[in-house]
Chains A and B, each alone.
Chain A
Amino acid sequence: MIRIERRLTEARWLVVAVPLGSLVGAAVLSSIILFLTGHDPIATWARLLDRGFFASGALSATLVTATPLLLTGLAAAAAFRMQTWNIGAEGQLYLGAIGASGIGIALRGQPALVIIPAMVIAGLVSGAAWGAIPGVLRAYTRTNEIITSLMLNYVAGLLMSYLIFDSHSYWRDLSSFTARVFPQGKYLSDAANWPSFPIGGIVIPFGLLLGAVAAAFLWLVYTATRFGFEARVIGDSRAAAHYAGIRTRRKIVAVMALSGAFAGLGGASEIGDFRHVLDPRGLQQASFGYAGIVVAALARLNPFAVIVVAILLGGLSNAGFSLQGATFPAGLVGTLQGLILFCALAGELLVHYRVRIGRPTRKAPLGRVEIA
């Protein structure tokens, strides 16, 4: 018999132990899946960790992958904290990539000091606009934002394909014969490449620094502003917020737009740091938006923890991309992310509840008062 009792206070040490335990639990469970499908779990994990973190240059590549994950993780954290379920970070990231690459093409020939800030702003604005759509629908027509934001992911993906496959598109490269036969986007000028900063053998991409600033910003918003306080009240109890006279509708739109802006910046960073071209297939395969949900949940919605978790999961994703092949089947990274999330959810129980194993006592023991 398993009994579950509510804890009166959150157990502090569990706040760190549970995410770590989740990673270990997911590693064990995925090893079982690997073993059952005829793969050597230890060898697979050794290659995964080596390619993600320890091989030469691996950590620098991991930081590039971690950047969009950090930003989509912040997007999920920003919305989930208010119990607003923005599942649309994927599409908002695409829009950010579309916006940043569009402005990058338009400003060809301009110096980096003009192009790069313009790309950052374009990414933020287009992501925010796409995120605001389900926000407005939620706030003013009470439409479930989970489904609308998710449907918009598919629409954004198709929009991105359209911009590359349509022969009149501004984004499509038509300058050479091969580009006319095999549709691809226009590459940005070298001035649009975001800078990177080598520190002790590790190269830190500009986008990661922006992501760290965004994390600090989100933390400040939620801890030090009236806006964040009201959003937290809405998250904890919508009814209480209503009675307190908090303008719930505006806040929902604002938080969805903020969330979308983070994801959009993630899309801009993919263009500026890594791809330098709008690449629908590559962005769709990476599925950073969905992985951001895993990042945020494992970080328990803490913006600074999001940074650490994004780098950890970024390593796994990065290794997954580079190892993919016959001995390293596709789908393993997604499976692993799902398992991590399951373990984190199960672990959340331990933070809030005490689990007792044994038969329920029939009689209360005399002379002893148990303090939970």
Chain B
Amino acid sequence: MINDSVLVVIAASAISYGTPLLFAALGELLAERSGVLNLGVEGMMLIGAVAGFWAVQTVGGPGWVSLLTAVVVAALAAAATSLIHAFLTITLRASQIVSGLALTIFAGASGLSSYIGHVADLGGKPARHEFDALNVLGLRDAPVIGPILLHQNALTYVSWALVALTLFYLYRTRPGLHLRAVGESPGTADAMGVNVTAYRYIHVMIGGALAGIGGAFFSLAITPSWLDGMTSGAGWIAIALVIFAFWRPELALVGAYLFGAFSSLAFTLQSRQVHLPPEVFASLPYLMTIVVLVLVSTGWARRRLGAPAALGVPYVREER
């Protein structure tokens, strides 16, 4: 049957592996659109993974209540983590690069997320509830589109809505216009009466919340359990994805599934007895990230379409 063919299986799992990347990349995109680079995505995702998993184990009630709470807890925990970065870079004008790295060291593998996971004794246990794939319209067995588009879990469909919502917000609403102004020219935005500081704080925290949901996708859907450092670099790939997508949400969707495909390729080919060392497959997503990044950094793409002009620059009204 065609639904068992390698291409369909890879496409279906590319969407599954791509979803956490999409959440994190959309969040980072919004933060960067406000002019704040946050290299702490990996750390925030790991906080989301551990917080979400803790919540699903702790909160009782029916499965969907538990899972919904877990996603909210993951988003809030990661948003709180991102607040550190916002305070250091926006209020205290610290280097965005070093502060973001600090956030990943603080929160990431062998940091706070690991500490929480060990203190709460979360390791080595299966999740009480997980996000199962839905059977949309009862068509999950429809040829090709069934497994790829109609047999994904609820968070994946939420992420699609989020792409549409982000597009609408950025290009069709007044706050979206202000956000773009803040990222391109904070001085002008300030003169227009836009509160630059508030916009930056809010969008860094939205970025944190979405990274947290992306992290929770790992501990509640991909491998429903908690493991120290379980996102293994997905946060960094999400940052690369924003560059790849030229800071545009619709391209982030395409990119997320492209990178999702590299991850799923590794697992699919391995399970189909392709005889190459497992490490070769495992390194594929990282190597492809480098290759893709090199491609979009040279040639026609060199004009840097979309990079917010004020990205990485603290805004100080007095030194304008």
Contact = CB atoms under 8 A, between A and B. Distances in A.
Contacts of A4: 93
A18 B237 CA distance: 34
Tell me whether chain A's interface is mostly helix, strand or loop, or mixed: helix
B287 interface: yes
Nearest to A169: B277
Contacts of B272: none
Contact of A166 (B105, B114, B277): B277
Contact of A335 (B101, B106, B286): B106
B290 A151 contact: yes
A209 B300 CA distance: 49
Given A151-B290, A338-B111, A345 B95 contact: yes
Given A162-B279, A293-B101, A342-B88, A151 B319 contact: no
Interface in B224-268: 228, 232-233, 236-237, 239-240, 243
Interface stretch (A115-123, A136-144, A198-206, A249-257): A136-144
Contact of A346 (B94, B103, B108, B243): B94
Interface in B201-230: 228
Contacts of B95: 345, 348
Nearest to A345: B94
Nearest to A6: B319
Contact of B92 (A5, A33, A87, A349): A349
Contacts of A165: 279
Interface residues of A, number: 51
Contacts of B302: 142
Interface in B66-111: 84, 88, 92-95, 97-99, 101-111
A267 B243 CA distance: 32
B294 interface: yes
A334 interface: yes
Interface string A326-361: 000111111101110110011011000100000000
B55 interface: no
Determine which residue in A143, A162, A285 has the highest number of CB atoms from chain B within 10 A of its CB, and name it: A143
B97 A338 contact: no
Contacts, number: 155
Q: Is the interface of B mostly helix, strand, loop or mixed?
A: helix
B239 A142 contact: no
Interface stretch (B15-23, B116-124, B131-139): B116-124
B48 to A, nearest CB: 16
Contacts of A150: 233, 236
Interface string B276-299: 010110110011011001100110
A334 B98 CA distance: 15
Given A142-B297, A338-B107, A345-B88, A330 B240 contact: no
Given A152-B290, A332-B115, 17 more contacts: A143-B290, A147-B293, A150-B233, A151-B287, A162-B280, A166-B279, A293-B98, A330-B115, A330-B228, A331-B111, A331-B114, A335-B106, A337-B105, A342-B102, A345-B88, A345-B99, A348-B95
Interface of B: 39, 84, 88, 92-95, 97-99, 101-119, 228, 232-233, 236-237, 239-240, 243, 277, 279-280, 282-283, 286-287, 289-290, 293-294, 297-298, 302, 318-319
Interface of A: 4-6, 33, 37-38, 85, 87, 137, 141-144, 146-148, 150-152, 154-155, 158-159, 161-162, 165-166, 285, 287, 290-291, 293-294, 297, 329-335, 337-339, 341-342, 345-346, 348-349, 353
22 contacts: A38-B119, A137-B294, A142-B297, A142-B298, A143-B293, A143-B298, A144-B297, A151-B233, A155-B287, A158-B282, A159-B283, A287-B109, A290-B101, A297-B102, A334-B112, A335-B106, A337-B106, A342-B84, A342-B88, A345-B95, A346-B94, A348-B95
